[in-house]
């Protein structure tokens, strides 16, 4: 199923489009003990900026997966240009074609909310190693939203639910994660400077209109929505 917001992210080729961008990713990974012999999955890799950073910085085995064909194409181009040994996969986060316990670490940056949350969390739980961990950056509602606000956000982003932190924690527990931390970071949806773009030639006025709606949400509802970084182990 097409998602207009994800389509424009792919067309604009924005790297680090998740809340906090690459600076947040670097902050999170600075707290982790990453070894070259680890297998890391970047779930919903987009144009591959984070996968490139992980591979370059830590030298571990990185698999990058995305469901959007244009994202996969642009990620492939990035890895070809940099000659990085990142394995790129066109796949569905809700139905991962990996064996059980395949990865030491799984990273998902503003990905799961765009899917069937329970299905994707179950798949993440299945393919992460029992002593591995998952790092999830997800948009949250700071409190229960009024229906009008909730409907606006769900329509613009093409998502089914805007969960509160407690609702995310409940979903994670029900998916089999027993050791869950909410990492201390800035949690507001402040605009991060965009420095990594790979724009397609077929941008339309409608695409800019969707981007304007996204910007309107982050500004108008700044007190209503934010994000959290969940570190989950089993």
In whole angstroms, give the CA distance from residue 198 to residue 174. Answer: 38
Which structural domain range is residue 71 located in? Answer: 4-233
pLDDT tens digit string along 121-159? 999 999 999 999 999 999 999 989 999 999 999 999 999
For residue 194, is pLDDT > 70? no
H helix intervals, the chain? 4-12, 21-30, 49-58, 69-82, 117-127, 147-157, 165-174, 205-220
CATH of the domain at 144: 3.40.50.150
Domains in the chain, number = 1
- pLDDT band for position 184 (50/70/90)? confident
What pLDDT is attached to residue 18? 76
In whole angstroms, give the CA distance from residue 90 to residue 196. Answer: 21
In whole angstroms, give the CA distance from residue 123 to residue 87. Answer: 19
The average confidence (pLDDT) of the chain is: 92
């Amino acid at each position: 199923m097409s998602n207009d917001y994800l389509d424009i992210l792919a067309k604009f080729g924005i790297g680090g489009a998740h809340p906090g961008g690459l600076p947040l990713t670097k902050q999170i990974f600075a707290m982790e003990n990453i070894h070259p012999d680890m297998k890391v999955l970047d779930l919903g890799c987009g144009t591959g900026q984070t996968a490139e950073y992980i591979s370059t910085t830590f030298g571990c085995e990185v698999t990058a997966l995305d469901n959007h064909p244009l994202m996969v194409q642009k990620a492939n181009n990035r890895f070809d240009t940099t000659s990085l040994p990142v394995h790129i996969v066109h796949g569905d986060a809700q139905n991962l074609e990996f064996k059980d316990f395949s990865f030491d670490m799984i990273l998902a940056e503003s990905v799961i909310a765009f899917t069937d949350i329970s299905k994707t969390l179950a798949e993440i739980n299945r393919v992460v190693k029992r002593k591995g961990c998952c790092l999830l950056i997800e948009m949250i509602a700071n409190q229960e939203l009024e229906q009008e606000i909730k409907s606006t956000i769900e329509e613009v982003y093409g998502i089914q639910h805007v969960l509160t932190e407690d609702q995310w924690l409940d979903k994670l527990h029900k998916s089999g994660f027993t050791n869950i931390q909410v990492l201390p970071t800035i949690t507001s949806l402040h605009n991060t400077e965009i420095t990594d773009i790979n724009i397609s030639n077929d941008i339309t006025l409608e695409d800019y209109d969707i981007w304007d709606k996204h910007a309107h949400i982050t500004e108008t509802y700044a007190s209503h929505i934010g994000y959290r970084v969940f570190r989950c182990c089993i």
